[in-house]
């Protein structure tokens, strides 16, 4: 697949646009020029950008200089500019240019969670933890939170080159050692602050999950009470605010943040941001930024997305990224409902106050329509649909899930909502709510009909033990990989459901709280970012791929009984912090291996030379099939009913005991044959590499087949899942 200019507008629209004011048809584009910065100073790179732009921008439309929004000059080469579609197309034809794509808007996708995954406060820690810097690309941070108190912290590591753009009243400290913000195109709207300060809450939450210090007795109004902490409480944070309230996160800002974070010297980048649209690797700002980060030894840990449970929804699937799904922990929040007839139901929700334990009259939303707003569906309790007089002081039953703004506006004291989804996440609402299953809801509806004065009460939420945890939550995006079907994504799963962490007290969503409970793969990602930093603190020289391999091959295995999508839900399984620092063997990958892989994906030598900035060649010999990329997992897509037989090459590096012998142990399900040669690997030295060949053959039936290859020396278990699945 060639790196083509991506058009969002059809020819017809293009024709119409040319009839309108030309300025209107300009929008922000990224022009990506790859690497190749080594011989150039910043000034020369910028004048190169202006000159490229000057070749396509005609003077009657506006001077080239005015169209240049930003030059990326530190870690990779490119620029952002306001362009018409024709200009973008012209640029994409130029020799120097790898790709041109419109700047897209992206979405943002404790306490208990760490103990749950076998990582107690007392866990063994490296003295180098305080040298590790995690870069957070998010909504900023609330630096005054207790989670970011720097008492006892030494000054930043000497190699740190970042900056604190201390706008307004924002100041960094020895915990939050860097902070920048990016809003390159257009003015910052009034509900946002032109500063790294977080007015949303999301960035404060993810930063404290990755690296917040220990804060005893944290809770949301008593819920989830305990010690809040991040994965690496001694590590440093560098904040890059790229997401804005009401606007999302734009590609041109994301790339500017990558450009700086790489040059500043972060060790891990945590990115809880994505897009539901999948693109070729070098027309995707996140894939581009993370490729250059990986090339500089920085692991990018990212969220899989919240578009599950449909298949092929996974985002951030480039093989150089770590892609994290979201799963439950053993605490779930329930909200009990009691009816006047004594019936009690266990619903799901986070109520910090609950109606005060009294029974209130219960009505069905359908029976209280707002007469001034005919046609609005009061049975769903949408905002404005309910009659204030009839709803005031009552509990409203609603046929679907909503924020609760309808019942709140109508003066209700609480609401009961029906959902036919899996109901596996507890959300906060505008008033006390309990969310019930379709079956329980049917009983409530019958009760309302069967009595003249129905009543109900909704209680404050409780945290209950959930013995079925962990399982991947329904919203977590699923594989297979939409662009490279033979690379397994997501890579692994981590807690992302009902997570308590620090919050911005000026958040529009939930103001005046300093710790909040929210859910998303956004919450799972910083757990793994923190653990990547944890591994890095023990093994400062490991490559991003080695750290990634350690996290993947040591993951706790998960069961298909609660996860019908198996590896497409959880990848290799649930992250296992303590084993990840001692994996025994790692599957390492160098930049040149990614280049081989990309050759095999059809990218040309010319394109790859620009991207890598070196003399990368795509020759027949160098034409790496995806099967030989040294990935720590295996995926294979095959048409139904077809015989298949493939060979994978892999190389492991000994990072355990010098003299050690690993033997292979396979779990081979029916329908697929697997052989490994050699079946025993003997090492004499640390960092010694050994290669082996894996053959997988059989006939593709209707269902996916999961197997696993485990190298074991009796102590370590280096496990790689193998998934063979029908390609349609």
Ligand X SMILES: *[C@@H]1O[C@H](CO)[C@@H](O)[C@H](O)[C@H]1NC(C)=O
Q: Active-site residues: which are they?
A: 138, 202, 522
Which window, 23-31, 107-115, 214-222, 488-496, contacts ligand X (CB under 6 A)? 214-222
Should residue 419 be labelled a site residue for ligand X when binding is judged by CB under 6 A? no
Which window, 32-40, 58-66, 565-573, 595-603, contacts ligand X (CB under 6 A)? 595-603
Helices (H), 339-437: 388-391, 405-409
Which window, 347-355, 368-376, 413-421, 692-700, contacts ligand X (CB under 6 A)? 368-376
CA 635 to chain centre: 21
Considering the complex, what minimum distance in angstroms separates the CB of residue 279 from ligand X? 19
Report the distance separating Cα 395 and Cα 347, nearest Å.
15
Should residue 449 be labelled a site residue for ligand X when binding is judged by CB under 6 A? yes
Should residue 409 be labelled a site residue for ligand X when binding is judged by CB under 6 A? yes
Question: CB-wise, 386 or 705, nearer to ligand X?
Answer: 386
Question: CB-wise, 122 or 619, nearer to ligand X?
Answer: 619
Question: CB-wise, 378 or 521, nearer to ligand X?
Answer: 378
Should residue 115 be labelled a site residue for ligand X when binding is judged by CB under 6 A? no
Considering the complex, what minimum distance in angstroms separates the CB of residue 28 from ligand X? 13
Strands (E), 182-304: 215-220, 223-228, 236-241, 243-244, 248-250, 268-271, 273-274, 299-303
Pair 101, 30: CB distance under 8 Å: yes
Pair 508, 200: CB distance under 8 Å: yes
SS3 698: strand
Pair 81, 68: CB distance under 8 Å: yes
What is the residue-wise DSSP string for 77-111? EEEEEEE-HHHHHHHHTSTT-SEEEEPPEEEE---
Among 370, 507, 549, 637, binds ligand X (CB under 6 A): 370
Among 298, 410, 531, 575, binds ligand X (CB under 6 A): 410
Considering the complex, what minimum distance in angstroms separates the CB of residue 430 from ligand X? 13
The residue count of the chain comes to: 728
- CA distance readout (Å), 558 to 462, 493, 527: 27, 10, 18
Nearest Cα residue to 145 out of 208, 199, 193? 208
Nearest Cα residue to 649 out of 574, 728, 596? 596
Nearest Cα residue to 690 out of 682, 700, 698? 682
Report the distance separating Cα 87 and Cα 85, nearest Å.
5
Positions 534 through 573 that interact with ligand X (CB under 6 A): none
What is the residue-wise DSSP string for 455-516? EEEEPPPEEEE-TT---B-TTS---S-SS-TTS--S-EEEE-SSEEEE--TT-SSSTT-SEE
Question: CB-wise, 489 or 716, nearer to ligand X?
Answer: 716
Annotate each residue in 127-156 with x if it binds ligand X (CB under 6 A) or - if it does not, as one string. Answer: -----------------x------------
Among 439, 645, 691, 727, binds ligand X (CB under 6 A): 439
Report the distance separating Cα 728 and Cα 724, nearest Å.
12
Among 10, 95, 512, 702, binds ligand X (CB under 6 A): 702
Which window, 261-269, 334-342, 428-436, 594-602, contacts ligand X (CB under 6 A)? 594-602
Among 305, 600, 613, 632, binds ligand X (CB under 6 A): 600
Considering the complex, what minimum distance in angstroms separates the CB of residue 258 from ligand X? 26
Residue 393 CB coordination number (10 Å):
9
Enter the DSSP assignment of 159. Answer: T
Should residue 222 be labelled a site residue for ligand X when binding is judged by CB under 6 A? yes
CA 203 to chain centre: 13
Question: CB-wise, 114 or 662, nearer to ligand X?
Answer: 662
Question: CB-wise, 416 or 547, nearer to ligand X?
Answer: 416
Considering the complex, what minimum distance in angstroms separates the CB of residue 199 from ligand X? 8
Should residue 602 be labelled a site residue for ligand X when binding is judged by CB under 6 A? yes
Nearest Cα residue to 363 out of 317, 395, 404? 395
Considering the complex, what minimum distance in angstroms separates the CB of residue 193 from ligand X? 5
Should residue 95 be labelled a site residue for ligand X when binding is judged by CB under 6 A? no
Nearest Cα residue to 159 out of 293, 263, 39, 37? 263
Positions 249 through 268 that interact with ligand X (CB under 6 A): none
Question: CB-wise, 105 or 446, nearer to ligand X?
Answer: 446
DSSP H or E run through 518: strand 515-518
Among 27, 46, 311, 445, binds ligand X (CB under 6 A): 445
Which residues have C-beta within 8 Å of that of residue 542, sequence separation ≥ 6?
Answer: 535, 536, 550, 586, 655
Positions 453 through 472 that interact with ligand X (CB under 6 A): none
Among 37, 599, 636, 724, binds ligand X (CB under 6 A): 599
Pair 240, 108: CB distance under 8 Å: no
Question: CB-wise, 27 or 46, nearer to ligand X?
Answer: 27
Annotate each residue in 603-642 with x if it binds ligand X (CB under 6 A) or - if it does not, as one string. Answer: ---------------xxx--x-------------------
Among 120, 384, 606, 678, binds ligand X (CB under 6 A): 384
- Token pair 């350690």 is found at 550
Which residues have C-beta within 8 Å of that of residue 60, sequence separation ≥ 6?
Answer: none
Considering the complex, what minimum distance in angstroms separates the CB of residue 301 from ligand X? 29
Residues that bind ligand X (rule: CB under 6 A) add up to a total of 34
Among 4, 446, 695, 699, binds ligand X (CB under 6 A): 446
Question: CB-wise, 382 or 481, nearer to ligand X?
Answer: 382
Which pair of structure tokens corresponds to residue 704? 């996916």
Among 120, 276, 357, 388, binds ligand X (CB under 6 A): 388
Among 105, 168, 659, 699, binds ligand X (CB under 6 A): 168
Which pair of structure tokens corresponds to residue 57? 């921008």
Should residue 452 be labelled a site residue for ligand X when binding is judged by CB under 6 A? no
Considering the complex, what minimum distance in angstroms separates the CB of residue 217 from ligand X? 4
- CA distance readout (Å), 626 to 90, 337, 528, 635, 709: 32, 53, 25, 10, 18
Positions 463 through 522 that interact with ligand X (CB under 6 A): 506
Among 122, 310, 372, 643, binds ligand X (CB under 6 A): 372
Which window, 26-34, 290-298, 383-391, 565-573, contacts ligand X (CB under 6 A)? 383-391
Report the distance separating Cα 252 and Cα 47, nearest Å.
19
3-state secondary structure 521-556: HHHHHHHHHHHHHHHHHHCCCCCHHHHHHHHHHCCE
Among 10, 95, 151, 187, binds ligand X (CB under 6 A): 187
**Which positions lie near ligand X, rule CB under 6 A?**
144, 168-169, 186-187, 193, 217, 219, 222, 370, 372-373, 384, 386, 388, 409-410, 437, 439, 445-446, 449, 506, 599-600, 602, 618-620, 623, 665, 667, 702, 712
């Amino acid at each position: 697949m060639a790196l083509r200019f991506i058009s969002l507008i059809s020819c017809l629209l293009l024709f119409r646009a040319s009839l309108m004011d030309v300025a209107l048809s300009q929008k922000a584009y990224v022009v990506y020029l790859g690497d190749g910065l080594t011989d150039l100073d910043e000034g020369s790179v910028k004048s190169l950008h202006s000159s490229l732009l000057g070749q396509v921008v005609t003077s009657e439309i506006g001077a080239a200089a005015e169209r240049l929004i930003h030059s990326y000059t530190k870690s990779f080469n490119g620029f952002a500019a306001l362009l018409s579609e024709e200009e973008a197309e012209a640029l994409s034809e130029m020799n120097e240019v790898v790709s041109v794509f419109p700047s897209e808007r992206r979405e943002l996708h404790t306490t208990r969670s760490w103990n749950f995954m076998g990582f107690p406060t007392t866990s063994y820690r490296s003295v180098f933890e305080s040298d590790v810097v995690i870069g957070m690309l998010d909504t900023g941070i609330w630096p005054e939170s207790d989670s970011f108190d720097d008492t006892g912290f030494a000054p930043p590591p000497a190699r740190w080159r970042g900056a604190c753009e201390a706008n307004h009243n924002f100041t960094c400290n020895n915990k939050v050692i860097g902070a920048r913000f990016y809003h390159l195109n257009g003015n910052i709207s009034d509900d946002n602050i032109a500063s790294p300060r977080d007015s949303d809450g999301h960035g404060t939450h993810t930063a404290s999950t990755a690296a917040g210090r220990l804060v005893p007795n944290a809770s949301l109004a008593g819920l989830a009470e305990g010690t809040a902490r991040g994965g690496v409480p001694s590590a440093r944070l560098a904040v890059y605010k790229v997401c804005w309230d009401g606007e999302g996160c734009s590609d041109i800002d994301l790339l500017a943040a990558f450009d700086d974070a790489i040059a500043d010297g972060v060790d891990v980048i945590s990115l809880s941001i994505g897009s539901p649209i999948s693109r070729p690797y070098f027309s995707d700002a996140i894939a581009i930024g993370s490729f250059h980060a990986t090339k500089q030894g920085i692991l990018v840990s990212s969220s899989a997305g919240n578009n599950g449970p449909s298949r092929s929804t996974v985002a951030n699937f480039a093989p150089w990224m770590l892609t994290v799904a979201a799963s439950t922990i053993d605490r779930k929040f329930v909200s009990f409902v009691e009816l006047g007839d004594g019936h009690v139901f266990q619903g799901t929700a986070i109520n910090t106050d609950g109606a005060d334990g009294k029974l209130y009259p219960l009505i069905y939303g359908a029976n209280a329509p707002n007469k001034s707003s005919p046609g609005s569906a009061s049975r769903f309790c949408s905002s404005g649909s309910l009659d204030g007089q009839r709803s005031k002081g009552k509990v409203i039953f609603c046929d679907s899930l909503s924020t609760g703004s309808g019942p709140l506006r109508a003066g209700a004291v609480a609401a009961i909502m029906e959902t036919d989804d899996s109901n596996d996440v507890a959300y906060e609402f505008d008033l006390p709510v309990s969310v019930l299953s379709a079956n329980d809801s049917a009983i409530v509806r019958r009760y309302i009909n069967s009595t003249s004065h129905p009543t109900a009460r909704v209680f404050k939420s409780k945290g209950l033990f959930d013995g079925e945890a962990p399982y991947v939550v329904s919203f977590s995006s699923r594989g297979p990989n939409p662009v490279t079907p033979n690379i397994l994504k997501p890579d692994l799963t981590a807690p992302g459901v009902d997570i308590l962490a620090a919050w911005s007290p000026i958040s529009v969503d939930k103001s005046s709280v300093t710790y909040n409970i929210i859910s998303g793969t956004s919450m799972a990602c910083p757990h793994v970012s923190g653990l990547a930093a944890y591994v890095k603190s023990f093994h400062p020289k490991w490559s991003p791929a080695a750290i990634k391999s350690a996290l993947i091959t040591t993951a706790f295995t998960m069961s298909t009984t609660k996860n019908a999508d198996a590896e497409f839900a959880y990848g290799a399984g649930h992250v296992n912090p303590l084993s990840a620092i001692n994996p025994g063997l790692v599957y390492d990958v160098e930049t040149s291996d990614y280049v081989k892989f990309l050759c095999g994906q059809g990218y040309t030598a010319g394109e790859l030379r620009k991207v890598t900035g070196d003399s990368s060649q795509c020759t027949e010999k160098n034409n790496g099939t995806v099967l030989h990329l040294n990935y720590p997992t295996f995926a294979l897509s095959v048409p139904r009913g077809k015989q298949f037989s493939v060979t994978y090459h892999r190389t492991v590096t000994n990072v355990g005991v010098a003299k050690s012998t690993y033997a292979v142990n396979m779990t081979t399900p029916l329908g697929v044959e697997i052989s490994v040669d050699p079946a025993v690997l003997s090492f004499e030295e640390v960092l010694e590499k050994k290669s082996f060949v894996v053959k997988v053959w059989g006939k593709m039936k209707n269902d996916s087949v999961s197997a696993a290859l485990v190298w074991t020396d009796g102590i370590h278990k280096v496990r790689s899942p193998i998934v063979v699945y029908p390609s349609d």
